[in-house]
Structure 1
Amino acid sequence: MDKIEIRKFTPQDRDWLLEQHKVHYANEEGFDDSFGVLVGSILDDFIADHDPGCEAGWIAWQGKQRLGSVFCVRLDEQTAKLRLFLLVPASRGTGLGRRMLDTCMDFARARGFGKMQLWTHESHRAAGALYAKAGWELGETKRVISFGKENVEQTWRIAL
């Protein structure tokens, strides 16, 4: 089996990443098409206007196959935001998620951010367990109707 590499996101990764989010969240979470619209907008904004000095995205690769993604973007002068964290099902439980999370957090630290934040849903229990194990703390929760269904939004934070 080929070694897993974590490479910088390029615009050529956009369509794959959008499709992965749409398919995964439709199949596993029951999200409607509005979720794909949101992810496409996030990706397009990143491609068009990210600051490479303090923002980056990564794609995990094994040979010629993409396995997952994670992004670090600036929320404000002191806070980085983790976005678009995804692993294909076959990569879950392998330690790759922690490796990608560490890559993102290390980048934020190296760019001088003092804290990080992320937004997710309560149904992403495995991701929540990973964040907690890495020292993140669950902040606000909010019941909402989003992406065509009832959800509980979560905000997680960590001091770097």
Structure 2
Amino acid sequence: MSDEVILRGYGSGDFDWLVDLHGRHYAEAEGFDATFAPLVASILRDFEAQHDPAYERGWVAERNGARLGSIFCVKLDHRTAKLRLFILAPEARGIGLGKRMLETCTGFARACRYDSMQLWTHESHKAACALYRANGWHCTSSKPVHSFGVDLVEQAWEVTL
């Protein structure tokens, strides 16, 4: 067996795993309540039902059959893509996989001829925000919110492609 991490396309068989990973991770790491996992499920259902594979794609990182994370590129409008559902399982952090996934996703967006890409996150996601900043993304807004049962600082980020 190879220890190589592959990035493959998201498939409907990944749905339950991805909802569970998001729900468990954010409950443990940040105290999110049970409203977060249904949001992830809704995003995935919408993606499965109506994504345009020429301009939108999801990837799952996998090693030896074990899923390690995901990242998605979806269309906001003909000029702007949105990065969604970017997550790494704890065992996949610190090996450069996040950077590789981000580069794959933004490379796809460039190939689709989007002018820019946006994302929404929280200030508490320090490692992700550092990765975005190191790859040319800029925080465009920041505001305190109460979401998923906790007080957070919501951020919007953007990168020119």
Q: Which residue of the partner structure matches residue 21 of structure 1?
A: 22
Task: Report the secondary structure of 1:33's partner residue.
Answer: coil
Other-structure match for 1:108:
109
1:152 aligns with 2:145: no
Letter in 1 for 2:129: G
> Who is 2:67 aligned against?
66
Q: Secondary structure at the residue paired with 1:75?
A: strand
Aligned length: 160
Partner residue in 2 for 1:134: 135
Taking the aligned partners of 1:122 and 1:74, their CA distance within structure 2 comes to 24
Q: Which residue is equivalent to 1:35?
A: 36
RMSD: 0.6
Report Cα offsets for 1:33-52 as digits up to 9, x if no partner.
Answer: 11111100000110111111
Normalised by the size of structure 1, how large is the TM-score? 0.99
Query: Which of structure 1's runs of 4+ aligned residues deviate more than 6 A?
Result: none
Query: Structure 1: which 5+ runs fail to align?
Result: none
Aligned counterpart, 1:143: 144
Query: Aligned pair 1:118/2:119, yes or no?
Result: yes
Instruction: Give the alignment's TM-score, normalised by structure 2.
Output: 0.98
Work out the percentage of aligned pairs sharing the same amino acid: 55
Distance 1:58 1:64 in 2: 14
* Shift in Å, 1:3: 0.6
Deviations 1:116-159 (A, max 9, x none): 00000011000000000001001100111000010100000000
Cα deviation 1:21-42 (Å, max 9, x = unaligned): 0000000010001111110000
Q: Residue type of the partner of 1:93?
A: G
Q: For 2:77 and 2:156, how far apart are their aligned partners in 1? A: 16
1:54 equivalent to 2:84? Answer no
Cα distance in structure 1, aligned partners of 2:134 and 2:85: 19
Distance, in Å, in 2 between the alignment partners of 1:64 and 1:84 is 20
- Which runs of 5 or more residues in structure 2 are unaligned? none
